[in-house]
Amino acid sequence: MAKRRRFSPDFKVRVVLELISGTKTQAESCREYSLSPQTVTRWKTEFIEKAPQLFRHKEHESAEQVRIGELERMVGRLSLELEVAKKASAMLNGNLSRSERWS
């Protein structure tokens, strides 16, 4: 029984780009690389369907970075508020000396 061939993603992209750019016809690629037309068609279809995701990823990543920035600012603000509340609580309870109150 013949072993099934595996192709790298780089090879698949090269074959599909040759087809899309018009450098080679599908028949030429199939003959040169000993591929079936169904395989090449499947690669081309998958390539075209997934191409928009390449550009969406950057938009999604950018939105995530904005959200992370907002959350980091919120954490900083809440940390500062907590520190102020702790000092105010200690002052009200009379636990801080005068020098610690203003540091």
3 occurs within a structural domain: no
With a cut of 70, which residues of the chain have pLDDT below it? 1, 57-60, 95-103
Q: Is the residue at 2 inside a domain?
A: no
Note whether residue 22 is domain-resident. Answer: yes
Cα 90 versus chain centre, distance: 46
70 occurs within a structural domain: yes
10-35: pLDDT as tens digits: 999 999 999 999 999 999 999 999 99
Q: Is residue 44 part of a domain?
A: yes
What confidence score (pLDDT) does residue 56 get?
A: 73
- Residue 47 located in a structural domain: yes
> Which pLDDT does position 97 carry in this prediction?
59
Task: Name the token pair of 67.
Answer: 């959200």
Q: What are the φ/ψ torsions at residue 54 (nearest 5 degrees)?
A: -60, -40
Answer whether residue 4 is part of any domain: no
Q: CA-CA distance, 8 to 72, in Å (whole number)?
A: 41
The range of the structural domain enclosing residue 23 comes to: 9-101
Q: What's the structural domain count of the chain?
A: 1
